[in-house]
Chain A
């Protein structure tokens, strides 16, 4: 096939300011109006096509903004064989779009060749940790670059888990060399659902390994006399998560921060306003560091 051909700058680093998750509905407007925003992140799998307008638009956006590729389908925690075909498509997209960050999840999504196309939680066992270290290493070797791994929200816990998630992530990062993408909303959601201290989680992570933060909205579902939080990405960031974000900035310093919004997508301006709020908080930390 003919390789996509779009003029672009050299791979741009992601600055320690706020970016937005770019979805198809906003792509054309962003390319046309080029609003002030630090960087953009897209779901890698949305651009796994062999060609077409979507990829052309992405490369056009990429020529004006630093880019991060965020995968949701690699299923690194799966005990099925390493998905070479998926890695090959990711490698091709990286080659086309020259992203500054490439990230995936601490999760699994398939077994026996059947995919759930979801970010399923892993039992936090020594075996699962060894497995993730091997798989992250395999993907990093395949791509010839390090990646970031993101914590997911969870709605259940496995009886056989042997360690808290922060210990799992710290071990994974130390032994595979991957960076961490810390989703502050996911920490908050899981902390509420499972009753652990979100600040303890953040305090326990290695400062220099956290290279990106995510912020998003969630919803609250009643379940008889209990409440369960769902990581729905369909609402503004709530005040409690903003407060936890301030604490994360205290822990990790100014880190590139993404506003994620995936369903019931609002106008682009709403996302940009959320990014501006994140920047206001980031600027406080920048000022303190100066």
Chain B
């Protein structure tokens, strides 16, 4: 008699159609062929995977059409089978899969739209953490500003693309009756996704603000972050970006790092934020 382990391995190979006959000898043939009985389980699995991916990537399904999406999900799942009893993570690698599968085609932007949809799912299910009370900044001495580390809230993501993914996402919501023509020449998109009381808010950020937030996500102190952004964005205005990001209640915590890591001075910008200009956040 085969062991339980061997039975499960053979059954798994049969379900994944790697070795369709593998489970045949293990199953009772009582008028309905074992292969036909296995097909019921294959169908159940295929439908569960497709339903989960449809719920995660509705815009990609709309852009590519139902038939293309079903085929794409099937190929994706062959390469990235489910690795958890919790289906929440099933679509985690789909943006990477699309990036590879659609490279060099006119649909390469699907990968970035998928990254936006995956970011949306992550924000929906991330841990709850209240925004920091910005009054704490009042207690920070001016000489410490450049050492400030801003800790973004967990229910927040930043997705960037050379394509106008935010406009594409907006134009392909279920409330929009017809699939509009996709314009890919409208410039890059830097989208902040952040969970609010009862919805996920999406908002385009300026290049400076998105880079500054990217540095905050990497726990870079304010001085070093500001210097790095200023080196890349000529018209970067630290005061404006600080005001924008803090007013969006993006920060869960603020603390002073031991080292700044750069000579950038943040005094004047931070001073501009205190006390009257502190956002309500």
Contacts and interface: CB of A to CB of B under 8 A. Distances in A.
A83 B1 CA distance: 27
B40 A230 contact: yes
A123 B176 CA distance: 50
Interface residues on A, range: 35 or more
Interface residues of B, number: 49
B2 A160 contact: yes
Interface stretch (B61-69, B92-100, B122-130): B122-130
A89 B125 CA distance: 13
A257 interface: no
B82 A114 contact: yes
Contacts of B82: 114-117
Interface string A133-171: 000000000000000000000011111100000000000
B88 A156 contact: no
Interface stretch (A7-15, A42-50, A204-212, A266-274): A42-50
Interface in A211-249: 223-224, 226, 228, 230
Interface stretch (B30-38, B106-114, B217-225): B30-38
A1 B128 contact: yes
A112 B125 CA distance: 27
Interface string B50-66: 00000000000000000
Contacts of B4: 79, 122-123, 125, 127-128, 131
29 contacts: A1-B128, A1-B154, A49-B88, A49-B124, A50-B125, A51-B127, A51-B128, A51-B155, A52-B124, A73-B87, A79-B5, A79-B8, A85-B84, A109-B85, A111-B5, A111-B9, A114-B81, A115-B81, A116-B15, A117-B82, A118-B41, A118-B48, A120-B41, A127-B4, A128-B4, A157-B30, A159-B25, A159-B28, A228-B37
Interface of A: 1-2, 4, 45, 48-54, 72-75, 78-79, 83, 85-86, 89, 108-118, 120, 122-123, 125, 127-128, 131, 155-160, 194-195, 223-224, 226, 228, 230
Interface of B: 1-5, 7-9, 11-12, 15-16, 25-28, 30-32, 34, 36-38, 40-41, 44-45, 48-49, 81-88, 90, 124-130, 154-155, 195, 198
